Chain A
Amino acid sequence: MSAVATLPDAEEERPLLKVSRLSHYYGSRLGCRDVSLDVYPGEVVAVVGESGSGKTTLLNCLAGRLTPTAGSVEFRMRDGRLRGLFSLTEAERRLLARTDWGFVHQNPADGLRMTVSAGANVGERLMAVGDRHYGRIRSTALDWLARVEIEADRIDDDPRAFSGGMRQRLQIARNLVTRPRLVFMDEPTGGLDVSVQARLLDLLRQLVADLGLAAIVVTHDLAVARLLSDRMLVMKGGEVIEHGLTDRVLDDPREPYTQLLVSSILQV
């Protein structure tokens, strides 16, 4: 833990997010317990587990949306220094949330402004960080709509007129427009039908690779974990019971519970 500045090419080896012994209780009810995790730049980590296992609780603590009961979450700021999330002021945390981070909700309506146009949904973060050129904001929005495969002529429609898959793609564009370094996703393909899911997964995989994004993806779908993630955590009863490279965990699960999970998926 030396404070000496490291050379740029050592950057890849330094974690972007550092989680130590994190626990969260809702009153006396356990949300998640004793989770430690490092996330490196450009890495996708999947969090899998059955309903109620604590995935969303963990994700919300990592994204600063819930204050953990114990433990710490540190993020490497652009100046290279690790800062404890909960030692940041609320203003700093919110700035981080709309610049360096993204948060993709399962239900797009929770992450979009449903009453303003697609263009404004994508442009909002740009305006929030001070872009004051309408033409530039609009062309950036058009560019991002294209990247998430939304036709240019839908730019002035509001998301109420969009299908579920389009809304989710719009939510992704809205998050990525500021080139965040870390994106949190809670069941990004949940609630979509299978063919729409497949297309969205493809798109996500491509964007993550193109942008070199680090991401933490909560899902109860092992196929999503397989396609998107480099590493995965398996949660049960609020704790991480297995943690490793995705291929290793899925092909050679060590914990009996993970074996059960994997085999039940394989039967499908």
Chain B
Amino acid sequence: MTDMDDARFPPLSNSLPRGERGPVGGSGAGADAGVELNGALSPLVGESGREGAPGAVLDDQANLRTYSFAYLDEQTKRMIRRAILKGIAIPGYQVPFASREMPMPYGWGTGGVQVTAAVLGPDDVLKVIDQGADDTTNAVAIRGFFQKTAGVATTTRTADATVIQTRHRIPERTLQAHQILVYQVPIPEPLRYLEPRETETRKLHGLEEYGLMHVKLYEDIARHGHIATTYAYPVKVEGRYIMDPSPTPKFDNPKMHRSKALQLFGAGREKRIYAVPPHTDVVSLDFEDHPFRIQTFKEPCALCGAEGVYLDEVILDDRGGRMFVCSDTDHCEERRAEGHRGALSGESR
């Protein structure tokens, strides 16, 4: 079996024999891997990790070539790519995969990082966002990780990126056909809330028994008078599988619908990958008399004046002062660069 798989999926970017590829990798990594791994780890250890990298091997550009591109060894990447391809073939279906230990804790996006590692090529331009921002510790660390291990170009500009890894948001700028959006997913199973048994949820998906999802929405309305679910709002993909869009706000659900970009979802701890191929129907569940609605905001962005975008609340002082600004920081900056102004941005430029 393995022979056949190898024949069908030749290594893409690294044809070195295994032994010469160095210790960095999944299944084949030896006991001594930890020492060299520190080099790759360093960007995640802290903001300053870059200078004091103890594993000097990875600082050497020439040496880097002998390591697997983007951290994972080719065999692992092929395994992940197969899961991705299966996910694309069955939109919304959760494909189990042999999730690897990554040099960062679960909850830091290990699933997303593995998917990104598997799809990234040397010419890609990577953007990483966390709650819409490029500059959080998490986003900076993951971006640094791929700069280090893959040497790819990175960007904060949505328009320039070819691969965008995200936690919690979809960029405001409409994604295009050449782009891939990779979601970090903590809990991939939308039925978990009412049915904790994995064997049973798998059966429910298999038999397309989704009454439970509406039970959850019913409970929302009974308790709150409206569907109170605002994050991880369940969707039906291509008229078949119910999918958890990860903890993105429901505001972003319509952006998933028939997107031109490929959308990939990776859950590291839960060992699941799923996908929404381009131009796929993604429909938010609802009731006829309580139709799905996205969040709306009373005011435009205080910095760039944007309307119809997702806003974050920012506390200005301890006397209740606050403002609402774009959660998508790149979008906001771009608009300000174009000269747009919000109520509280008089002094900028």
Contact = CB atoms under 8 A, between A and B. Distances in A.
Interface of A: 90-91, 94, 98, 113, 115-117, 119-120, 123-125, 127-129, 132-135, 137-138, 155-156
B288 A133 contact: yes
Contact of B222 (A124, A125, A132, A156): A156
B106 interface: no
Given A94-B207, A156-B222, 18 more contacts: A90-B203, A91-B207, A113-B194, A117-B219, A117-B222, A119-B218, A119-B222, A120-B215, A125-B211, A127-B214, A127-B215, A128-B209, A133-B287, A134-B218, A137-B218, A138-B222, A155-B222, A156-B223
Interface in B177-223: 194, 203, 207-209, 211-212, 214-215, 218-219, 221-223
Contact of A123 (B194, B207, B209, B215): B215
Contacts of B194: 113, 115-116
Contacts of A91: 207-208
B173 interface: no
B18 interface: no
Contacts of B289: 133-135
B279 interface: no
A128 to B, nearest CB: 3
Contacts of A113: 194, 215
A16 B189 CA distance: 39
Q: Which 4 A-B pairs have the closest CB atoms?
A: A128-B211, A127-B214, A134-B287, A127-B211
A116 B219 contact: yes
Contacts of A98: 211
Interface in B136-179: none
A131 to B, nearest CB: 8
Interface of B: 194, 203, 207-209, 211-212, 214-215, 218-219, 221-223, 286-290
B215 A134 contact: no
Contacts, number: 54
Nearest to A156: B222
Contacts of B287: 132-134
A135 B288 CA distance: 9
A139 to B, nearest CB: 11
B209 A127 contact: no
A119 B219 CA distance: 9
Nearest to B287: A134
A90 B287 CA distance: 28
Of the listed residues A125, A137, A156, the one surrounded by the most CB atoms of chain B closer than 10 A to its CB is A137
A124 B290 contact: no
Contacts of B209: 94, 128
A120 B288 contact: no
Contacts of B221: 134
A116 B290 CA distance: 19
Contacts of B203: 90
Nearest to A130: B211
Of the listed residues A134, A135, A138, the one surrounded by the most CB atoms of chain B closer than 10 A to its CB is A134
A120 B219 contact: yes
A116 B215 contact: yes
Contacts of B290: 134
A248 B134 CA distance: 82
Of the listed residues A120, A123, A135, A155, the one surrounded by the most CB atoms of chain B closer than 10 A to its CB is A120
B222 to A, nearest CB: 5
22 contacts: A90-B203, A91-B207, A91-B208, A94-B207, A94-B209, A116-B215, A116-B219, A117-B222, A123-B215, A124-B215, A127-B214, A128-B209, A128-B212, A129-B211, A132-B286, A133-B287, A133-B289, A134-B221, A134-B287, A135-B289, A138-B222, A155-B222
Nearest to B214: A127
Contacts of A115: 194
A132 to B, nearest CB: 5
A101 to B, nearest CB: 15
A125 B218 CA distance: 13
Contacts of B207: 90-91, 94
Nearest to A126: B211
Contact of B218 (A90, A94, A123, A129): A123
B42 to A, nearest CB: 45
Given A132-B287, A135-B289, A127 B218 contact: yes
Nearest to A133: B288
